[in-house]
Amino acid sequence: MKAAVIVFPGSNCDRDIQVAIEQSTGQPCAMIWHKETSLPRLDLIVVPGGFSYGDYLRSGAMAAHSPIMRAVKAEADRGVAVLGICNGFQVLTEAQLLPGVLMKNRDLRFICRDVDLRVEATDTVFTRRYRKSQVVRFPIAHNDGNYFADAETLKALEGEGRVAFRYCDPQGNITEAANPNGSLNNIAGILNAKRNVLGMMPHPERLADMLLGGIDGRPMFDGLVEALAA
């Protein structure tokens, strides 16, 4: 599987996701600087977490207009898998590769802790190694993770099974108390209509090795290799 990580000024999770991907693929993962204007043939593009451009203006807003994002959009339209994590999710919404917006957390505070997630969609290259309704534990670390979309968009996401992950309690119940940031319908991750673009606020790469304290994130990368390796 040929994979690449897009690097913006301010990215701070780019090396973490590179390690997680290389652990699963056993192959080098390319790092692409945001000023590049083209991409090689790839099976997976990752827009990583971090604070692109220092989150100036609005999280992900400036990165969405980086030269490389035109190439990312073109590859996504061609069907290449694109994964956006945390700030990467914000970039993908700002670039209109995914619908909705990520607003300030409900309590207006930065949140950094592990959360429980319920897997809602398993018919994707990103989630095929998980079971439907499985509860997994991923870390979050964000100030702007409060997912919002208008009523029509939300209806489409729910009706088309495009919610990939929801915040839940350890038993898998979707409750307000388990919602860390105020996201509509406890949404933690969504898919585009073609299901080849996933944006999610939690960080699977931060629990992809027992040395990190858990491996709930590892099936995502192993599943991508299984699905995309030629």
* Enzyme catalytic residues: 86, 203, 205
Angle at CA 183, nearest 5°, toward 181 and 184? 155
Distance separating alpha carbons of residues 111 and 189, to the nearest angstrom: 17
Q: Among 103, 45, 50, 107, which residue's Cα sits nearest to residue 76?
A: 45
Distance separating alpha carbons of residues 32 and 8, to the nearest angstrom: 9
Distance separating alpha carbons of residues 202 and 214, to the nearest angstrom: 14
Which residues have a Cβ under 8 Å from the Cβ of 55 and sit 6 or more positions away? Answer: 10, 87, 143, 144
Tokens of 48: 């990583």
Strands 111-119 and 163-168: antiparallel
170 HSE (CA, 13 A, CB side): 1
